[in-house]
A and B are shown apart, each in its own frame.
Chain A
Amino acid sequence: MLKDRQKLVGIGIVCLVIMAAGVWAWARGYVGVPGANNLGLYAPWGLYISLFVFFEAIAVGALLMAVFYKESKYRFQMAVAGCIAVVAAGAAIFADLGGLTKLWNILAPPNFSSPLFLDVLFMTLILIFGILLTVNLYKEKESNFITIGTGVLAAILPIATALLFTSLAGSPGWSSSLVLAVFLAQALLAGFAVMLILAKTESEVIRRTFIGVLIANILLVIGEIAYALYSMQANALPALEMMTGRYALLFWAGLVLLLLIPIVLIKSRPQWAGVSVLAGLLLTKYTFVLQGKLIPYIFPGENLLVDGLQMGSSGYLIAPAYIPTWEEFMVSIALFAFFVLAYTIVMEISKTKKEEVAKSGNISA
Chain B
Amino acid sequence: MKYGMLVDLDLCVGCGACVMACKLENGTALDIHWCHVLFKEVGKYPNAKMKVMSLSCMHCENAPCVNVCPTGATYYDGEGNVLVDLNKCIGCRSCLAACPYNIPDICSVAQKDNPYWEGHEMTPLEKIICQDHVVGTKEKCDRCQDRLAEGRNVACAEACPTKSRVFGDLDDPNSDVAKQILEKNAQPLLGHLKTKPTVYYVGKF
Q: Which A residues are within 8 Å of any B CB, using their own CB?
A: 30-34, 37-41, 44-45, 93, 96-100, 102-103, 105-106, 109-111, 113-117, 120, 167-171, 292-293, 296-297, 299-306
User: Closest residue of chain B to A116, judged by CB?
Assistant: B70
Q: Does B197 have its Cβ within 8 Å of any Cβ on chain A?
A: no
Indicate if the CB atoms of A167 and B68 lie closer than 8 Å.
Answer: yes
| Option from B69, B99, B102, B113 in Cβ contact (under 8 Å) with A111 | B69
Indicate if the CB atoms of A32 and B98 lie closer than 8 Å.
Answer: no
Indicate if the CB atoms of B101 and A116 lie closer than 8 Å.
Answer: no
Q: Does B114 have its Cβ within 8 Å of any Cβ on chain A?
A: yes
Indicate if the CB atoms of A305 and B39 lie closer than 8 Å.
Answer: yes
Indicate if the CB atoms of A111 and B97 lie closer than 8 Å.
Answer: no
Residues in chain A near residue B96, CB distance under 8 A: 40-41, 44, 170, 293
Contacts A115-B68, A117-B70, A305-B40 given; indicate if A170 touches B97 (C-beta within 8 A). yes
| Option from A105, A296, A305 in Cβ contact (under 8 Å) with B102 | A296
User: Closest residue of chain B to A296, judged by CB?
Assistant: B102
Residues in chain B near residue A44, CB distance under 8 A: 93-94, 96-97, 106
| Option from A96, A102, A302, A305 in Cβ contact (under 8 Å) with B88 | A102
Q: Does B1 have its Cβ within 8 Å of any Cβ on chain A?
A: no
**Chain B contact surface mostly:** loop
Indicate if the CB atoms of B94 and A115 lie closer than 8 Å.
Answer: yes
Tell me, in angstroms, the Cα distance from A40 to B107 when the chains sit together: 8
Indicate if the CB atoms of A299 and B190 lie closer than 8 Å.
Answer: yes
Tell me, in angstroms, the Cα distance from A116 to B107 when the chains sit together: 20
Indicate if the CB atoms of A34 and B70 lie closer than 8 Å.
Answer: no
CB interface residues, B 119-171, toward A, < 8 Å: 134-137
Indicate if the CB atoms of A304 and B39 lie closer than 8 Å.
Answer: yes
Tell me, in angstroms, the Cα distance from A225 to B31 when the chains sit together: 35
Indicate if the CB atoms of B39 and A169 lie closer than 8 Å.
Answer: no
| Option from B72, B73, B105, B114 in Cβ contact (under 8 Å) with A40 | B105
Residues in chain B near residue A305, CB distance under 8 A: 39-41
Closest chain-B Cβ to A85's Cβ sits at a distance in Å of 21
Residues in chain B near residue A98, CB distance under 8 A: 89-93, 106-107, 135-137
Residues in chain A near residue B94, CB distance under 8 A: 44, 114-116, 168
User: Closest residue of chain B to A37, judged by CB?
Assistant: B108
Q: Does B110 have its Cβ within 8 Å of any Cβ on chain A?
A: yes
Contacts A98-B135, A116-B94 given; indicate if A32 touches B109 (C-beta within 8 A). yes
Indicate if the CB atoms of A168 and B53 lie closer than 8 Å.
Answer: no
28 A-B pairs within 8 Å (CB atoms) are namely A30-B136, A32-B136, A37-B108, A44-B97, A96-B93, A97-B136, A98-B93, A98-B106, A99-B89, A99-B91, A100-B90, A102-B71, A102-B87, A102-B89, A103-B90, A105-B88, A111-B71, A114-B67, A168-B68, A169-B98, A170-B100, A171-B97, A299-B100, A299-B189, A300-B40, A303-B41, A303-B42, A304-B38
A-B residue pairs, 9 tightest by C-beta: A98-B91, A98-B136, A32-B135, A44-B96, A105-B71, A99-B90, A114-B70, A117-B70, A44-B93
Q: Does B193 have its Cβ within 8 Å of any Cβ on chain A?
A: yes
Closest chain-B Cβ to A167's Cβ sits at a distance in Å of 7
Indicate if the CB atoms of B189 and A168 lie closer than 8 Å.
Answer: no
Tell me, in angstroms, the Cα distance from A168 to B98 when the chains sit together: 4
User: Closest residue of chain A to B89, judged by CB?
Assistant: A99
Q: Does B64 have its Cβ within 8 Å of any Cβ on chain A?
A: yes
Residues in chain B near residue A41, CB distance under 8 A: 96, 102, 104-106
User: Closest residue of chain B to A46, judged by CB?
Assistant: B93
Tell me, in angstroms, the Cα distance from A300 to B72 when the chains sit together: 29
Contacts A114-B68, A170-B100, A305-B41 given; indicate if A105 touches B91 (C-beta within 8 A). no
Tell me, in angstroms, the Cα distance from A10 to B135 when the chains sit together: 38
Q: Does B205 have its Cβ within 8 Å of any Cβ on chain A?
A: yes
Residues in chain A near residue B69, CB distance under 8 A: 111, 114
